[in-house]
Structures are given as C-alpha cells and as structure tokens.
Amino acid sequence: MLKGKRAVITGVLQGIGRTALEIFARNGADIFACAYARTDEFESRCEELSVKNGVEISPIYCDMSDNESVKEAAREIQKAKKPVDALINIAGVNRDALFHMITIEQLRESFQINFFSQIIFSQYITKIMLRNGGGGGGGSKSVVFTSSVSAIDGNYGQLAYAASKAALIAAVKTMSKELGRSNIRVNAVAPGVIKSAMTAALPPETIEKKLNKSALKRIGGSDEVANLFLFLASDRSRHITGQTIRIDGGIG
C-alpha cells in the first residue's frame, strides 16, 4: 500500500508505534523512525526490518518534552533532502489525576508532549511536503495525529490527557482546511482501550469497566490501530481529511 512512499513515524519504541513501524515497512514504505532514546535493540530492529522488507529505515532521536530536540530532529530529516509522503504522530504521554489533584506541572507536561511538540514537528515536516509540491499527480500527502476517545467523551481522572488530546482534534480541523489546497490531508485517530504499555498501567477494574460498555467486549490490538494509520497514510484514503476516526470497539 505504501510502495515508493516515505513516512515519518514518531513514538516507535513500543506499543502502537512499534507495531506501526513494522506494518509500514511490510507495506513498502521508507521510514524516518523517531524514538526518544537510542538503544542497540532499536537500531538492530530498524536494520532487520530494512533488510527483510527491502526498505530504508532511518532512526531519528527526539525528546518530545524538549522543543529544541524536536526542532533538531525535524532539521535532521530536512537535511536528508528526501520527499516525505506521510507523517504519523504517535508519541504521547498519560498523566492521570483527578481534577482537584492535577498539578500545573502535569498539565504543562501533557500539553508539551501531546500537543505543542507535535504541532512544532508537523510544521517542519509539512514544509518538506510543500517543498515537494504537496500531494500532486493524483496522490496526496497525509498527516495523522493520535488523539483518544477520552478527548471526545471525557474520562474520570484524565483531565490533562483528555484536554491535550482534544486540542489535537481542533488542530486537525484547522490544519486540514489550510493544507487541503496543497492536497495534504490531516486526520486524527481516536483509540479506545488498546493493548499497550499505557493501558497495562491501568487498574484491571478500570479496563473491565470500559470493555463492559463496548459493543465488541474486548481490548483492541496495536496492529488494528496501526492498520488504520496505514490506510490513512495511503492513497486509498485520498478523499478523507479533517476527520477524527474512533477505533474503540464500540464504546458507548
């Protein structure tokens, strides 16, 4: 689905991002793989996926809590002077606390990682897309953010997380209008309960309560979310923009 295309994916060390890296490589994409820390295991995995799938995977290191690190990572991608067809923003953080207990520091950290850094990074990467003529030739470029059903429905004890993810939904609506004239599509994905390190930290009773309210009564897989990213990055979704797509098993 992505043969001949190049994607930038953030948050690829674990969870949904790790799975997305594998699925995008399997589907023929060359990838700038953005991780917050360098490890030998990650470098080896990038090399292995590159050889196995006949694609180019370039590790990029970026601390989303530090705007200068974000800018430096984006500049490194710019210096490569290669076209970018898709940007998949997956990196994020969850700082749960009740409304009366949330601190300003937790709010700032949540918005820094979940919103500010991603907007800054997207500014740089979409400029690369624009310099390469946007989505010409009948195809399109694609930017995808990872929001959450908590941003739409609200959730007990997730004020900072939900608010920062809701900000992305508003940004998607505006960005899609501004970039649409250049055939750059902007969408968001809103996962529900998905098997990941983030949900593993939740109390079992919290997960059970959410699943009981869902139509499918099961936890989602990281591959199911990654395949939605794949669809939105591909030209098969070239008439979809400005949308936030829930992938939550039918949570009521």
Catalytic residue positions, numbered: 161
Identify the three-state secondary structure at position 192: coil
| Dihedral over Cα of 204, 207, 211, 213: its sign | positive
The three-point CA angle 14-110-197 to 5° equals: 25
Q: What is d(CA 201, CA 213) in angstroms, rounded to the nearest whole number?
A: 20
Measured between its terminal Cα atoms, the distance across the chain in Å is 32
Query: 233 with 5: CB under 8 angstroms?
Result: yes
| Dihedral over Cα of 29, 175, 222, 45: its sign | positive
Phi-psi region of 83 (alpha: psi -120 to 50; beta: other; left: phi over 0): beta
Both structure tokens of 176: 């899609």
Q: Which helix H or strand E contains 71, and what residues bound it?
A: helix 67-79
